[in-house]
Amino acid sequence: MSADKQITLNIEIPDGNANSVWIVGRDPDWKGNVIVCPRPCLKTARLMVHFSQPGVYILRKVVPLQLPQIYIGIADPIKERLNNHDANKEFWEEVFVCVGESGGKLNIAHIQHLEARLITMAKLANLCVLNQIPPNSPSIDKAVESYAENYLTQLIFVLRVLGVNIFEVSPTTAEEKSGGKIFILNSKK
């Protein structure tokens, strides 16, 4: 992504309440949406058409001064799996549902690839508590992989803007983790 290219994100808030559900898209180069849904809003949000599509979801709980707790999964449709998580997973406070737009719909091969890549990236970045073993990436042809990787690049950008900064290590952190030299100067008075 070029620094001189303007990027526009569209945020639709269906009920007009900023503390409710957001539908976030990126124009003009992405055929996807991220639906940001606080847990208390899930009952009404799962009636949205987006929750009837296949996709990837990220459950998150943020605790001050701690790494966020994360669970990444896939489902087709999303709402069935989220109903299960609402009843059986206590930890989470919000979900980020990642789906394709009409005309850019994700299929099962896409979402399996995205899930495997997101879990692997989160584990490598080590910026969250993620108690998952990355699934094996599905065997997919180059065209499907290319589409999924392009979707992933755009998705990571949107998630970063939304404050989900768990997939990429910043250059400073990478240098510190790779054993880059850090000098500490102490002076005696």
Residues with Cβ within 8 Å of 12's Cβ and at least 6 positions away in sequence, in order, are 22, 23, 24, 25
Residues with Cβ within 8 Å of 109's Cβ and at least 6 positions away in sequence, in order, are 138, 140, 144, 148
pLDDT in tens, 98-144: 998 765 678 999 999 999 999 999 999 999 999 788 788 888 999 98
Q: How many CA atoms lie within 13 A of 86 on its CB side?
A: 18
Give the pLDDT of residue 39: 97
pLDDT in tens, 68-96: 999 999 999 999 999 999 999 999 999 99
Give the pLDDT of residue 136: 82
Q: What global pTM score does this model have?
A: 0.86
pLDDT in tens, 160-189: 999 999 998 866 654 555 555 554 545 555
